[in-house]
Chain A
């Protein structure tokens, strides 16, 4: 018996039980769909992060507390040791740096009249908007002189303004940050949401005030802007050398943007794989559904199997017939799942970064096919080894 014939018999059997075939396929459809959508989200987020980090300008260096790198991926148990003096030190001694700013980050409350907003307060220098390429939407950023003098002036993110000022113009108003009164002088331009993090939810104050607000002068990080893209590596070596005279290598890391990116990408790849893994479980469950229905089908069609065997079907003829039926179920389910998965991803593109990748389509379809074969073989084997006499007597 040739394959075409087995195919025709299998399709005939499935068409005869359309509703059941559809329900059986549902498991695989959902599984394949979930794999494609989740991988698409993972990929989308990854390329979004890549473009966002790249958008910062490729000549930035980040000095972070603790030991970090593409190989360690985690900085556990570090203490903040970097100080504002280190920024001055770097400024004095670095030849390849164009600008250097040290920041302190801390969660705090911003209060205006009876409204309070919890946010992240960043103590920074006057050149922050230039170094990170973040323009001011309204008013202006604080000047170097204001930082030097420790003026109580603040620039707010859009989210903070919207929350506590509403439609009121915030410029010139006084807010309370922590326990200190600040004059609002500017509003940052909008940057938007990303992965559930709101980049407009923040308040910026002179670094000098932050040390008194926090009661500590340890920097959260230092950002170095290299002279140009050609000298990023030179600047990195230089910064490491200078900081190395003061600190142990475990206390800080100087990372280029590329390194930061590769760490982020690593994390996001792991996240994507995890999502795919979770989705694969539903594919597996779909496979078990196929096996279940195929077993029912074998029992229901015992007489048919007996008749086929009585007129000359060999063991493998029956086996192939049932395996093909399972494969058709899983592959059709896989194809429908792909269509819905791609369609769903494209619809979701309206709200979040989504990127459909070919490998996720191939992977899920391949997996669906394997699931069909794997879970189809046992029922098929059960069918094939039925004794013809017993099968014919079966009622």
Chain B
């Protein structure tokens, strides 16, 4: 369901070109839980942005759900981000002065879903992450762990093909981190495809497959133990 072929990405910075990705190829099947690992600067986040349609590759292709995304126009990419990808960021990226519920509704707004149905679906998503009681709280009144749970609810709400989590526990204490990982694991058990970026072996242990990157290339791709 996700094919990455010979993916490269070169950034131009003040006249220098930086090769973040130098030809990455792998395939992820539906229902997999994959950790992408590597030291900082190895190209993990760049890869994540390309899979998540936030950016376009220099060459190569990303095929998501049978659709080649690297050739899409801006608005088509927005639509893929909206419907097929659920993104969870390290720093949550919630709208701060907005309630948890409204934050979760955001992808539904851009999907053109009417307000009644929208609230219902957003509330359901908050239930999954166990935050339905905080639906009316503004995101800046929530703890880090709670904010990340709101972000996961937001990623889930449009029922995407794939959930991308970029260092989801990176800003959390270990207890909240474990909570978040348990939610992701639960979602995977329910059949959702999840790709996780992390540099912590402990976190990667939740996944069933680890792809290791170094300097923009895949160095290993193997199954790992299930926690």
Contact = CB atoms under 8 A, between A and B. Distances in A.
Contact of B106 (A2, A303, A311, A392): A311
Nearest to B83: A312
Interface in B154-176: 154, 158
A31 interface: no
Contact of A389 (B55, B74, B115): B55
Interface stretch (B92-100, B194-202, B207-215): B92-100
A316 B74 CA distance: 11
Given A1-B112, A5-B109, A312 B93 contact: no
Contact of A312 (B82, B89, B95, B97): B82
Interface in B73-113: 74-75, 78-79, 81-83, 87, 89, 93-95, 97, 106-107, 109-112
A323 to B, nearest CB: 17
Interface string B56-88: 000000000000000000110011011100010
Interface of chain A: mostly helix, strand, loop or mixed: helix
Contacts of B10: none
A307 B79 contact: no
Contacts of A392: 54, 89, 93
Nearest to B155: A311
Contact of B75 (A303, A306, A308, A315): A315
Given A310-B81, A311-B81, A303 B107 contact: no
A1 B109 contact: yes
Contact of B93 (A1, A303, A315, A316): A303
A309 B112 contact: no
B24 to A, nearest CB: 18
Contacts of A389: 49, 54-55
Contacts of B55: 388-389
B78 A307 contact: no
Interface residues of B, number: 26
Contact of B111 (A303, A310, A312): A312
Contact of A307 (B75, B83, B95): B95
Interface string B27-71: 000000000000000000000010010110000000000000000
Interface string A280-323: 00000000000000000000000110111111111111000000
B95 A304 contact: yes
A255 to B, nearest CB: 67
B13 to A, nearest CB: 13
A311 B78 CA distance: 8
A307 B112 contact: no
A322 B18 CA distance: 35
Interface string B109-125: 11110010000000000
A388 B110 CA distance: 15
Contacts of A5: 109, 115
A312 B78 contact: yes
Interface string B174-202: 00000000000000000000000000000
A76 interface: no
Contact of A313 (B78, B87, B89, B158): B78
Given A313-B78, A314-B79, A389-B54, A308 B106 contact: yes
Contacts of B115: 5
A16 interface: yes
Given A5-B109, A311-B87, 11 more contacts: A1-B112, A310-B89, A311-B81, A311-B110, A312-B82, A313-B78, A314-B74, A317-B110, A388-B55, A389-B49, A389-B54
20 contacts: A1-B112, A2-B112, A303-B93, A304-B95, A306-B93, A309-B78, A311-B81, A311-B110, A312-B78, A312-B79, A312-B81, A312-B82, A312-B83, A312-B107, A313-B78, A316-B75, A388-B54, A388-B55, A389-B55, A392-B54
